[in-house]
């Protein structure tokens, strides 16, 4: 049996949030005046925070689209607010 923590609570949390208010990568890009590729980078690679850790935008994959939520965006921006230059453009 593995000692790895389960990802089920995380997946359940973001899935519940997306069920309430889903935002596509395209919608996030339009809202924050970024290209879709930048938002996908936030999801896949993340953004380097001031302490050197990478912070990813939480999302769920639905078909070929990645969906996120208002709450996930708030957490993401809060975690990287010390390094706004890392957001790209």
- Give 37-48 pLDDT, tens digit per residue: 999 999 999 999
- pLDDT, one tens digit per residue, over 54-70 is 999 999 888 888 999 99
76 closest CA partner among 37, 19, 32: 32
Give how far the C-alpha of residue 21 lies from the chain's centroid of Cα atoms, to the nearest Å: 14
| pLDDT at residue number 86 | 57
Domain boundaries of the chain, sorted by first residue: 8-87
Q: How confident is the model at residue 15 (pLDDT cuts 50, 70, 90)?
A: low
Q: What is the pLDDT of residue 29?
A: 96
pTM above the 0.85 mark?
A: no
Angle between helices 70-80 and 8-20 (to 10 degrees): 120
């Amino acid at each position: 049996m593995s000692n790895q923590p389960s990802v089920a609570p995380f997946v359940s949390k973001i899935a519940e949030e997306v069920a309430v208010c889903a935002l596509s990568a395209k919608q996030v890009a339009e809202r924050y005046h970024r290209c879709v590729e930048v938002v996908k980078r936030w999801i896949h690679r993340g953004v380097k925070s001031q302490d050197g850790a990478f912070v990813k935008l939480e999302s769920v994959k639905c078909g070929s689209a990645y969906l996120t939520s208002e709450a996930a965006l708030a957490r993401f921006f809060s975690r990287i607010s010390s390094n706004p230059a890392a957001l790209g453009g």
